[in-house]
Amino acid sequence: MSKKISITINGVVYEVDEGKTILEAAKEAGIIIPTLCYHKDLCVAGNCRVCVVEVVGQTRLAASCATPCHDNMEVLTNTLKVRNSRKQIIELLLSEHNADCTKCYKNGNCELQELAAEYKIMSQDLIDLVPHKFYSVDMYSPSIIKDDSRCIRCQRCVRTCAELQGVNALSVAYKGDKMKISTFFEKSMNEVVCTNCGQCVNHCPTGALIEKNYIEEVWEAIADPDKHLVVQTAPAVRVGLGEELGFDAGERVTGKMVAALKCLGFDSVLDTDFTADLTIMEEGTELLSRLKKALVENNKEVKLPMFTSCSPGWIKYIEHMYPDYLDNLSTCKSPQQMFGALAKTYYAKARKLDPEKIVSVSIMPCTAKKFEADRPEMHDSGFRDVDYVLTTRELAIMIKQAGIDFMRLPDKKFDRLMGESSGAAVIFGATGGVMEAALRTAYEIVTGREVPFENLNIAPVRGLEGVREASIKIENPLEAWAFLDGVELKCAVAHGLVNAKKVVEAVRNNQASYHFIEVMACPGGCLGGGGQPIPTSPEIREKRTMAIYAEDAGMPVRKSHENPEIIKIYEDYLKEPLGHKSHQLLHTKYTERNRY
Amino acid sequence: MAVQYNLKRADFIFRNENDWEKILSRTLQRDKQELINELISSELKGRGGAGFPTGLKWKLTSEAKADQKYVICNADEGEPGTFKDREILTKVPFKVLTAMGICAHITGATKGYIYLRGEYKFLRPDLEKAIKEFEYYCNEIDFDFSIEIFLGSGAYICGEETALMESMEGYRGEPRNKPPFPTNEGFMGKPTVINNVETLAHAFTIFKHGAKKFYDLGVQFSRGTKLFSVSGDTPKPGIYELELGMSLQDFVDEFGDGDTKAVQVGGASGFLVPRKRFGETSIGYKGKLTGISLPTGGSMMLFNSTRSMFNVLDNYLEFFREESCGQCTPCRVGCQQLLIGIKAVKQGQKPASYLDKLLKLTETMQLTAKCGLGQSVANSFSSIVENFREEMIY
């Protein structure tokens, strides 16, 4: 228990924990103080100065986000001095900002716009500085657009890139009036260490960092009668989409999402979860085969620990930062790309469609998926495997544009083929999910028994700790896996690249001996992805996590290898995990990249 | 009419005494609490311009609990119109080093740094030689203290103590949120005393001659002497050590060219005093009982009637626009607005009443900016605009 102190806010005395800031104390008391640079995920910057309050006895105003409460402190949050100052600060920000709101992608979802509306900035007394600046827009990345003219220099993106991701692709350059957020040598975002994770987009209060959207392209494809539109939806989308369309965080909208996609005009609404199950089959087998080669054949070429490869932000990160560990990455493509390769081969064949006429669209909680789909190696179907990647936010925009009353939509089910999935696939959306799904299947392959956890819920790999460890001892395996008898399978789970870094460093310094490591680039896993609804916060991510596990618990099939469509695809098409066809369509290789 | 000569010159800082070894070893023998009390009773205040009581600063740091503490000498002399620290470090470096040593002894620091302005790179070889000699002596008397020079890179903002520490830690030179203050969490998060070069030189004087000698100089609330960097329209520019509390009129009588229109006290971040206010203005720290008292880092710029005060302000604002670190809104955007605003008024694109809007803006900057830079832009702006409004318009 921390010490309580008393603080007076607007004449009312409150008891707060010592160490709390004025902003936190006010929030507890139900008093709203406007903020811009403040974000719950990030360290305090105190640079926008919008949150200033009056502390009785001080001549200057205090930034409430950065000022700790003192015993008997007296704070006023709504005096003329405070209001005028805040208003002037908003005016200053607007004078430096390209406030052409109607032409901004974030119109209606911008914190600066909201504040301007709240403070009723009706006229601009100050001189518009925008014509005097040489703002540039960086459109070269396939994932992220950086528009300096919309930037308010709050540095949330810089802190996100440094604190959550440890990437530092974005940093502050120059000083004074020329101060800007920039990259290494002001190169464009596609030329630097940026992993395209989109966390900066998720944390940007304005339209300075946005995803590159492909909404119009998809509308055009939908309108083209010659095209067959296939859409896949990632597991995390169903627990986030509702937030954009009137639901509270943590609401599962799977059935409505499917119904909406059908309304939009997609010919076939399918599920990335299907290829998530497929990933488990391939990746689980790959892990077991690596273990066999290492333990039985004593093959020194085999790299352990094996890292998961589902998160394209993580892939690009390791390509930049730890290229010597590329062989430790599973060769499995991500579920999105497995789906893309199969849509224009397996699916096309089964549905008797010309793959050239298939347009493959994916709905992802992720901006890095846009880059992934754009990778030159992702053409194994003979075509571009995934044509367009839309974020959860872009899907919500399309649903709104189409005039769909999302809340009143009746639930619909995914189409077949490639629409069936297990609970193991759904949990791919949460950090630890891939690990849990893989263990459910691999353990059963090896021992013939279910994982020894209640209701198949592998609790040690769940949660929101940055790095989590688990181990599972293999006893009495089936004959084919006798070499694993008594082996303690050691696993680690990391989410947020700053935590990924910790794990890789531990491996590099021989401080940890893991067999299998799951890494998701974004905090919370895909459900906290850079393409998910804005805002994000630890609380929101926790609600989405609960929704993901609830979805899993409610599924009739909970293990990837029991998904009937998975059994069928191996019988009809792929034959066996890591087989010839799998290698051709479902596995990939990686590229070393520059460190800046 | 005879000019009444009231300036009291002093000669402590640059008096070459060659007895630093004796002072150091003698002072290190003394009780720490007694030394702090001596410094407090001298009423020495920070000579960088902010005027924080030096004894209190040392006391707070000595009371902070930590495994490591630091002493930093702020030699990032960047205020337009000051050039005194350069002379101190050139002529009497041992006074500064000795004071740093005494400070380390009192506070429990074992490591000292001199943050040297990038443009003063040429001082480095001689200063390093002095440090070597100083450290050699420390070693001889079994005093565990070493000093390192850290070279700045030319940003004005790095003279702000927390930005300076950020810069030393390898980060962008941006001021931190306060609290915590450096006395508790400074360089590398450890308790740190950071003092201006001149403050340390005065501390040497105090430990040598005793607090009383220092206290007896100057006036109430503004004790001791101060170095002034005199420049502008003056027949005798240079560095002068004067007693605090002098009236600006006396100063102008001594240093003016007979046609002094205004004096900028304290550099670009200080105040402009017009001729009509010379008599009622004294130079010292806040708290003087009568009249206006202006604190200063020692920059005294004299302007005669040939100078356009618009140009003077324009120049200062251009400086601030560029030297703001850019992190906080009021300072970054405010400086741009002020500069472009006075130009717009001058060119007739904005009415004269726009100046009042800009004055309001400087009030907001003063109230809300994160550090002293943004807060003090209002000083020169309002004092120039209010006193020379017609020069801004026509």
Note whether B68 and B146 are same-domain residues: yes
Whether residue B328 lies inside any domain: the answer is yes
Each residue's pLDDT tens digit in chain B (394 positions)?
A: 444 446 888 899 999 888 999 999 999 999 999 999 999 999 999 998 888 999 999 999 999 999 999 999 999 999 999 999 999 999 999 999 999 999 999 999 999 999 999 999 999 999 999 999 999 999 999 999 999 999 999 999 999 999 999 999 999 999 999 999 999 999 999 999 999 999 999 999 999 999 999 999 998 889 999 999 999 999 999 999 999 989 999 999 999 999 999 999 999 999 999 999 999 998 888 754 445 667 778 899 999 999 999 999 999 999 999 999 999 999 999 999 999 999 999 999 999 999 999 999 999 999 999 999 999 999 999 999 999 999 999 9
Q: Of B304, B323, B344, which marks where a domain is finished?
A: B304
* Dist. CA A67–CA A199, nearest whole Å: 27
- Whether the CB-CB separation of B262 and B115 falls below 8 Å is answered with no
Q: Return all residues near A571 (Cβ < 8 A) that are at least 6 apart.
A: none
**What is the pLDDT, as a whole number, of residue B291?**
56
- CA nearest to B246, candidates B263, B267, B269: B263
Q: Which CATH code for domain A216-274+336-408? A: 3.40.50.1780
Residue among A44, A52, A88 minimizing CB distance to B177: A44
Note whether B176 and B300 are same-domain residues: no
Whether residue B2 lies inside any domain: the answer is no
- Whether the CB-CB separation of B328 and B176 falls below 8 Å is answered with no
CA angle, residues A71, A76, A79, in degrees to nearest 5: 165
Note whether B207 and B286 are same-domain residues: no
The answer to whether the CB atoms of A176 and B179 lie below 8 A apart is no
- Asked if the A4-78 domain carries CATH number 3.40.50.850, the reply is no
* Residue A282: how many other CB atoms lie within 10 Å: 23
Class of domain A284-332+423-586: alpha beta
* Dist. CA B230–CA B322, nearest whole Å: 25
Note whether B114 and B167 are same-domain residues: yes
Note whether B211 and B233 are same-domain residues: no
Whether residue B7 lies inside any domain: the answer is no
Partners of B219 in the beta sheet?
B222
* Dist. CA B13–CA B92, nearest whole Å: 8
Residues B297-338 pLDDT 10s? 889 999 999 999 999 999 999 999 999 999 999 999 999 999
Note whether B194 and B162 are same-domain residues: yes
At position B308, the amino acid (one-letter code) is S
Q: What is the ipTM of this complex?
A: 0.94
Note whether B187 and B288 are same-domain residues: no
The answer to whether the CB atoms of B327 and A153 lie below 8 A apart is yes
Residue among B326, B366, B375 minimizing CB distance to A175: B326
Residue A206 in contact with partner chain B when CB distance is under 8 A: no
- Whether the CB-CB separation of A557 and A288 falls below 8 Å is answered with no
Secondary structure (DSSP) of A504-570? HHHHHTTS---SEEEEESSTTSGGG-TTSPSP--HHHHHHHHHHHHHHHHT-S--SGGG-HHHHHHI
* Dist. CA A147–CA A135, nearest whole Å: 8
* Dist. CA A305–CA A170, nearest whole Å: 30
Residues B345-374 pLDDT 10s? 999 999 999 999 999 999 999 999 999 999
At position B256, the amino acid (one-letter code) is G
> Which sequence spans correspond to the domains of chain A?
4-78, 96-211, 216-274+336-408, 284-332+423-586
Closest chain B residue to the Cα of A90, Cα to Cα: B329
Q: Return all residues near A283 (Cβ < 8 A) that are at least 6 apart.
A: A308, A309, A330, A332, A434, A438
The secondary element (H helix, E strand) that includes residue B381 is helix B372-387
Split into its structural domains, chain B has a count of 3
Indicate if A284-332+423-586 has the same CATH topology as A4-78: no
Q: Of B243, B271, B304, which marks where a domain is finished?
A: B304
Note whether B185 and B222 are same-domain residues: no
Q: Of B215, B230, B253, which marks where a domain is finished?
A: B215
Note whether B276 and B324 are same-domain residues: no
DSSP-derived 3-state class of residue B355: helix
B330 contacts in chain A (CB < 8 Å)? 49, 88-89, 92
Q: Residues in chain A with pLDDT < 50? A: none
Whether residue B6 lies inside any domain: the answer is no
Residue A65, judged by CB atoms within 10 A of its CB (0-12, 13-18, 19+), counts as buried
Q: Which residues constitute the domain of residue B101?
A: 20-215
* Residue B153: how many other CB atoms lie within 10 Å: 10
Residues A273-300 pLDDT 10s? 999 999 999 999 999 999 999 988 888 8
The answer to whether the CB atoms of B177 and A126 lie below 8 A apart is no
- What's the CATH code of the domain at B246? 3.10.20.600
Whether residue B3 lies inside any domain: the answer is no
The answer to whether the CB atoms of B325 and A175 lie below 8 A apart is yes
Note whether B61 and B159 are same-domain residues: yes
Whether residue B260 lies inside any domain: the answer is yes
Q: Which CATH code for domain A96-211? A: 3.30.70.20
Residue % of chain A over a pLDDT of 70: 100
Whether residue B378 lies inside any domain: the answer is yes
